[in-house]
Amino acid sequence: MLPILGNSWTISYLKEELVVGLEYIFNEIKDRVAILQRFVEGDDYRIVVLDQEVIASYRRLPLSVEGDGVHSIIQLLQIKQERFRQMDRDNGN
């Protein structure tokens, strides 16, 4: 099970890992929804529709950081996520 920063979901390659991940989501985190999707290579676009009208569309980019020679990659990701939260722009899916 690989937790993704900012969310509580997993990437699983084996049925047993999937079961453990789902049990964690439902029993530990107490979430009520899990979405299972097949991975499709390519760009990730989101389109927001309200009342049958497209009101926004955008391409999602992976969270990335540039090393500073001081912090670890995990620390840099956490710092960036905290900045998103402060801007009320949590990077959750």
Closest CA to 11 of 30, 32, 25: 25
* Phi, psi (rounded to 5 degrees) for 49: -120, 130
pLDDT digits (tens, 9 = 90+) for 25-44: 899 888 888 878 777 888 88
Instruction: Return the pLDDT at 1.
Output: 39
Q: Model-level pTM?
A: 0.42
89: pLDDT strictly greater than 90 = no
Break the chain into its structural domains and give their ranges. Answer: 15-86
Instruction: Return the pLDDT at 79.
Output: 92
Instruction: Return the pLDDT at 12.
Output: 62
Closest CA to 22 of 37, 32, 39: 32
